[in-house]
Structure 1
């Protein structure tokens, strides 16, 4: 299953020269992945299309609302049109509540309106591991609530390590009490199923250390396992744990109240989202869960929050001298970082670099000004400006 789901033309709807052609009528995609819905349309000669959009909700006597105006899709939609009256809708970071019938609508300058119906039915599913068989000779099945598009290849993990890759969703295994198993599909190995185990306890983090920019948003993700005969009573994140005391749920700690969000929606997923990061959010974050008979906590995930600082050497020079600009962070940002450079608040042409160092050679009086830097993708979080003075 690829992160983008593409489809072939199947449906034509015609009415006096008006039509919407959808590339497929149904798509099954993984939660957290990206999907692409595609259509093309025709209309009467002499008309000119004035607006196009996708929608899911349409009440009697009420005009449908552009999906791009709905808050729950904010930042997750892309519309793409082409010269042949094609139209693509891309939805990222899919959620189960995105499951719906998506329809395309266009309007013309002569009050013409058309909706392609039926639309595209999108079903969003997660992965689950179903266990059947005897005491220890088990058959594991990677199941979904709908049939995934493109017949994916399944990948199996034992105690977090890859052990098998197969087109079959079944895996026969000798299941010991200490082992845990999870599955994923090829191309989206980052979207694991929750792990299953017989008597094991574990918290598995996606990353053990994170470097993030001040002002950005970070997700700290993990999955956890516990014996099947236990029942979860409470699950939460914390940073401080004093000897002899139970750690305090981070969501009720002053300074974090209203600042963090728990995203895990199953009893084996745990994701902590921290938006608008502050330097003071740098800490070791741990996940803890309490069952009907035991309690367990994972090791810390180290989060370092950094700002971007521009260093200029020197800040005052004579013409024809060189100046070195360095964009510094407290930790190494992941993935590979591209740096953007600015003069007087405007991007310097052709200045993006993989290096945090940018050099001005043989400067002139025209190079006098205020300089700053930013990390590509976070241009809204630039460094403070440093002023360069060039004298004759």
Structure 2
């Protein structure tokens, strides 16, 4: 029986999602959550016949023409607006494809919105057939009101020269957070979920907060750090200074005594 090209394409398309063709496969996590306003990175990898047959030299005439990430769609057939479509100019700039056409399909979503909560699927299309990873990854978006700063020390008071690590945490597990840190409302150069402070001085004293984006909309309550003088260290310094002063004074007294004694001996010599 002769089959027209359109019917053949549909049958090949359905073969992947039904699990009949092991050459097509997409691997991504089942689900995770991110905080509204933060940046999410969906890790993803895939295999397709071209990769298995010849990574560096694909079969003649077979080429990848389109990669797609879609939200709440089963096959990602149609043009994608809330997601990524390499063939569409309507793709939002917040969706950035970090993958390639060989085996990496990682997607980056910046400034997560509540409406971004969805089940995302990845699709790859060649000039002969297309295939969509059937399971998808569920991304949940929380409001981030429970963002907090946690410290590696139990006391807010730390001695000079000490160290402390502050961590930006939430009830939601973070994925590639774009965390910004502030001291007394002024932005610090350090970024990331953890802030490491070492060789502390009095200048490090202040209220520390973390924000999940540069706008500061999702900011934690302040965590206060007080750096105090190390009394033992300063007592040692004072003791050393006192000893040095004492030695210098003793040397001066000895020199003075030597001068006086030499003068007396000189006078006696003159009298004789």
Question: Do these two structures clear the TM 0.5 threshold for a shared fold by scoring above it?
Answer: no
TM-score class, shorter: 0.3 to 0.5
Larger-Rg structure = 2
Q: Which has the higher strand share?
A: 1
TM-score, length-normalised on structure 2? 0.42
Q: Whose RCO is larger (CA < 8 A, sep 6+)?
A: 2
